[in-house]
Structure 1
């Protein structure tokens, strides 16, 4: 089927109103933490590479590109040199990228300066990896940013030859800090610690003062767990409507449309059942035997489905601590990409907030996403630890030679030594620099009794940090510095 240049040009004119003197479509005033990094690459690339914005559907990739257009126009970049095109549009998908670029240049003659190409949903470009490689190698007059919500962008044909041709910016769901910014809530200002380690220098009065000032944040944190970190649903008044919209995006658009179009999945119902199983076991050890028996699928099929769900940014897989055979023989823990996904898919409304176990799982998922999802590219290795008799530590972060431990204890009673059996056993077998216990109550905040450490003169220091504060600070750190300095 042939698409005419006039048809392509008409579509591009709708997407690029700045060509005829109009600003981009109305954009939110708030900006994701990744905005500064993206704009820096478009203004003055530190290396001859394209930029890949990767992330799930509805996390704000398109908005980020259009905000970059707005900033570039304000910098004085000629409007004719900026192209935005989304390749999930049927006309552009049929036309292909070269015909799209030709129609652009026929309509808008080039001005002085580099060309800026912003290509949305680039996984629909035929042989996208080879095309990007060619552009980076031979068209140094072009700066390219492209997005993908499904990751054949990381494991498709032509990708190996494209290594070193693009810089990846991983866009997760909203942090708690970003969620509060979007909601424009008037809350008491809280100090931003330069690092989590600096909390050990605070005195008791400071912990009490911050805990009291943080009281208004708790209700919003619970609302965040229910609504999740998707900008569109965060702004909808009705929780039920927000959950229905999120469920539609995941089930109908990702599982049924993207999986079929991009990965050729035919057994969509089995894939959906696999995802529902994971929603019911969020944050748990992945028992492949139980999954296969329950869903009546073969192990290779289930394993393939798990990999596809990770490729479309719907789940995280957390490996066991160790190396080589320890990891190969161990079981992964599986977390959803956002704490609101499970209640949205199951249409539970706010019922999760009345279920202590479900609330604890959602909090653990939020903490993991704030830690793991926001340290991409920082050389930090994340895992969980499990002892011989099943004591467990939820999350380990290995940064260089330093090992940090995180335990989520989101429960009404204060955290004591009895609740930290797994952490005590870990510290007697591994050199842990510091441990953080993520708590629920705002007065369950401050240093705890150190855990005896094998072969060390001093116990491993332990800090209790309420979950709303930890997530707030991790998100604010990302917004301030682009990457999380709280591990400094």
Structure 2
């Protein structure tokens, strides 16, 4: 549709206050851990690629981009060579990307040097994949950062875009980031470069850290209920935070984005499918039961599951292993944030009094933190289950190493008898160490599995018990460098 250049200039001027020598309003000083990676790719890109910030709605993608703009301005980059545009805006959505760039250059003539383009909600740009490919190939003086709230942004242009953009996938706030954004004053916890370091700690360190972490537990439980979205994290009322979460998910993602981006017509069936998953968070997906309960056909349900994953509302974990058995097996489903199910199901803070629900929420949070920590290394996540129903909640395969995690978030201390699945997996795959995520702060420290069968030549598996608040804190801490466990 034809949009006048005057209209485009007026809209762009609103989004780019630096053209008027004005500061960016309400820009938080605190930055997410992902900012370091984004900053590197903008300032000194390791390869000639655009940058895609991918993630769910309302998790801070726009704020990250504007913080990057602020850094460029402070570094003396000419204001005329920086453009921010959001294609969620109706005027920009109607115009072509080329028309937007023409309007930019009419308002702000180019100055010598690199141009920096920040394009929000780029999935609404017509033929965005082809356009980005062309820019990367032929416009070497432009560095492009763009965002998308749906995976089709990656998949639709995958063939033409190979090697043209670097993806930074954002999760909701980690527990560490949640504490930072709320600016809480808590006792300092030590830095931890790797979970492996815990196996070298003396017993006195476990006692000392458990005592220091006592004030973190209440905030961890509130984090599970309030959610890892910046807006809900900073809302005073938990009731209000959960209402905002419901509105963003149900109204904006399920009812608007699914229609606009994917042409979904059976929105009610899609909503029912999502509600079913909220009721079975962290569990194995039983497609037969889902289809029977919701009265939908399997291809329809399968399509809905894929769409929910595409919009970053769920994660799917396959069973451990490869081949036909894996293809026929059931997936495990995790919601994108532990607070989604309580908010959508109108449970409020009730999960804190429900041991089962609290355990499910914790397992969801643990997976999200492991995913956020490892995703850049192309880690394969799965779950393990044996025929006798012995199982391990999460298995990460990192650089050829298998790292199992079992979540036992309950009042009782964890003993060897409760870890039959973890021990069996470690013995069968000759895994030297595993991790158990516990509830009590004094359920923290090293334990050794029973001696393997005689003649196996394998040493007993070392198992590290880590309270969930500490694991989530360390997995999200900015001090953890990329590339270490």
TM category, shorter: over 0.9
Aligned to 2:66: 66
SS at match of 2:24: coil
Structure 2 contact 193–480 (Cα < 8 Å) conserved: no
Deviation of 1:40 (Å): 1.3
SS at match of 2:145: strand
SS at match of 2:375: coil
Deviation of 1:482 (Å): 5.6
Aligned to 1:206: 205
In structure 2, C-alpha distance between the alignment counterparts of 1:453 and 1:154, rounded to whole Å: 46
Aligned to 2:281: 282
In structure 2, C-alpha distance between the alignment counterparts of 1:17 and 1:438, rounded to whole Å: 47
Aligned to 2:467: 466
Q: 1:100-144 deviations in whole A, cap 9, x for unaligned?
A: 000000000011111100000000000000000000001001000
Deviation of 1:80 (Å): 0.5
Q: 1:160-186 deviations in whole A, cap 9, x for unaligned?
A: 111110000011100000000001000
2:417 aligned with 1:394, yes or no? no
- The unaligned stretches of length 5 or more in structure 2 are none
Aligned to 1:245: 244
Aligned to 1:410: 409
Q: Relative to 1, partners in 2 of residues 1:415 and 1:452: Cα closer, same or farther, differing over 3 Å? A: same
Aligned to 2:260: 261
Aligned to 1:436: 435
Aligned to 1:46: 46
SS at match of 1:193: coil
In structure 2, C-alpha distance between the alignment counterparts of 1:293 and 1:126, rounded to whole Å: 39
2:233 aligned with 1:234, yes or no? yes
- The unaligned stretches of length 5 or more in structure 1 are none
Q: 1:370-410 deviations in whole A, cap 9, x for unaligned?
A: 00233113032211100111111001111223211100000
Q: Relative to 1, partners in 2 of residues 1:344 and 1:11: Cα closer, same or farther, differing over 3 Å? A: same
Alignment of 1:28-177 (within 5 A): 28-156=28-156, 158-177=157-176
Structure 1 contact 243–349 (Cα < 8 Å) conserved: yes
Alignment of 1:234-383 (within 5 A): 234-383=233-382
Q: 1:411-430 deviations in whole A, cap 9, x for unaligned?
A: 00100112111112222322
In structure 2, C-alpha distance between the alignment counterparts of 1:323 and 1:127, rounded to whole Å: 36
Structure 1 contact 133–161 (Cα < 8 Å) conserved: yes
In structure 1, C-alpha distance between the alignment counterparts of 2:323 and 2:181, rounded to whole Å: 43
In structure 2, C-alpha distance between the alignment counterparts of 1:484 and 1:444, rounded to whole Å: 28
In structure 1, C-alpha distance between the alignment counterparts of 2:42 and 2:267, rounded to whole Å: 39
Deviation of 1:431 (Å): 1.6
Q: Relative to 1, partners in 2 of residues 1:30 and 1:39: Cα closer, same or farther, differing over 3 Å? A: same
In structure 1, C-alpha distance between the alignment counterparts of 2:275 and 2:370, rounded to whole Å: 25
Deviation of 1:318 (Å): 0.7
Aligned to 1:457: 458
Deviation of 1:481 (Å): 4.8
In structure 1, C-alpha distance between the alignment counterparts of 2:462 and 2:449, rounded to whole Å: 5
Deviation of 1:210 (Å): 0.6
In structure 2, C-alpha distance between the alignment counterparts of 1:20 and 1:351, rounded to whole Å: 50
Structure 1 contact 119–146 (Cα < 8 Å) conserved: yes
In structure 1, C-alpha distance between the alignment counterparts of 2:433 and 2:379, rounded to whole Å: 15
Q: 1:307-326 deviations in whole A, cap 9, x for unaligned?
A: 00000000000110001113
SS at match of 1:144: strand
What is the TM-score when the length of structure 2 is the normalising length? 0.98
Deviation of 1:451 (Å): 4.3
Structure 2 contact 426–433 (Cα < 8 Å) conserved: no
In structure 2, C-alpha distance between the alignment counterparts of 1:325 and 1:271, rounded to whole Å: 29
Deviation of 1:155 (Å): 1.8
SS at match of 2:102: helix
Q: Relative to 1, partners in 2 of residues 1:130 and 1:138: Cα closer, same or farther, differing over 3 Å? A: same
Deviation of 1:347 (Å): 1.9
Deviation of 1:280 (Å): 0.2
SS at match of 1:168: strand
What is the TM-score when the length of structure 1 is the normalising length? 0.97
Deviation of 1:151 (Å): 1.7
Structure 1 contact 96–125 (Cα < 8 Å) conserved: yes
In structure 2, C-alpha distance between the alignment counterparts of 1:435 and 1:8, rounded to whole Å: 56
Aligned to 1:18: 18
Alignment of 1:181-196 (within 5 A): 181-196=180-195
